[in-house]
Chains A and B, each alone.
Chain A
Amino acid sequence: AIRITQSPSSLSASTGDRVTITCRASQGISSYLAWYQQKPGKAPKLLIYAASTLQSGVPSRFSGSGSGTDFTLTISCLQSEDFATYYCQQYYSYPQGFGGGTKVEIK
Chain B
Amino acid sequence: EVQLVESGGGLVQPGRSLRLSCAASGFTFDDYAMHWVRQAPGKGLEWVSGISWNSGSIGYADSVKGRFTISRDNAKNSLYLQMNSLRAEDTALYYCAKDKSGEGLGAFDIWGQGTMVTVSS
What residues of chain A have their CB less than 8 Å away from a CB belonging to chain B?
1, 32, 34, 36, 38, 43-46, 49-50, 55, 87, 89, 91-92, 94-101
Which 4 A-B residue pairings sit nearest by Cβ, starting from the closest?
A94-B59, A49-B107, A34-B107, A43-B111
Known: A43-B95, A89-B108, A95-B47. 7 other contacts (CB 8 A): A32-B105, A87-B45, A94-B57, A94-B104, A95-B61, A96-B59, A100-B44
Please report whether the interface of chain A is mostly helix, strand, loop or mixed according to DSSP: loop
The interface size of chain B toward A, counting residues with CB under 8 Å, comes to 25
Tell me whether A95 and B107 are in contact (CB under 8 A). Answer: no
5 A-B contacts (beta carbon < 8 Å) = A36-B45, A36-B108, A38-B45, A91-B106, A101-B44
Which B residues from 45 to 88 make CB contacts under 8 A with A?
45-47, 50, 57, 59-62
